[in-house]
Structure 1
Amino acid sequence: MFSQRKFYTPYTSPTDPCPPIEVKSYETPPQLYLGFQPPCLPQYASAKEALHRGTLWPALYSPYESPYKRGDTGE
Structure 2
Amino acid sequence: MSNLQQQPSYLKAYEPFHGRFDPCRPIGVKFYSTPPNLYLGFQPPNLEQFPPEVALKKGTLWPALYDFYDNPYEAKGR
SS at match of 1:26: strand
Once superposed, what is the RMSD of the aligned Cα atoms?
1.4
**Rg larger in structure:** 2
Shift of 1:14: 1.6
Percent identity between matched residues is: 56
Aligned length: 68
Matched, 1:54 2:59: yes
CA distance in 1, matches of 2:47, 2:35: 18
CA distance in 2, matches of 1:67, 1:4: 15
Name 2:41's counterpart in structure 1. Answer: 35
Structure 1 spans left out of the alignment, 5+ residues: 70-75
CA distance in 2, matches of 1:16, 1:67: 27
Structure 2 spans left out of the alignment, 5+ residues: 1-6
Shift of 1:16: 1.3
SS at match of 1:15: coil
Higher relative contact order (CA 8 A, sep 6+): 1
SS at match of 2:31: strand
CA distance in 1, matches of 2:20, 2:71: 30
Superposition TM-score, scaled by structure 1 size: 0.81
Report runs of 4+ in structure 1 exceeding 4 Å deviation.
Answer: none
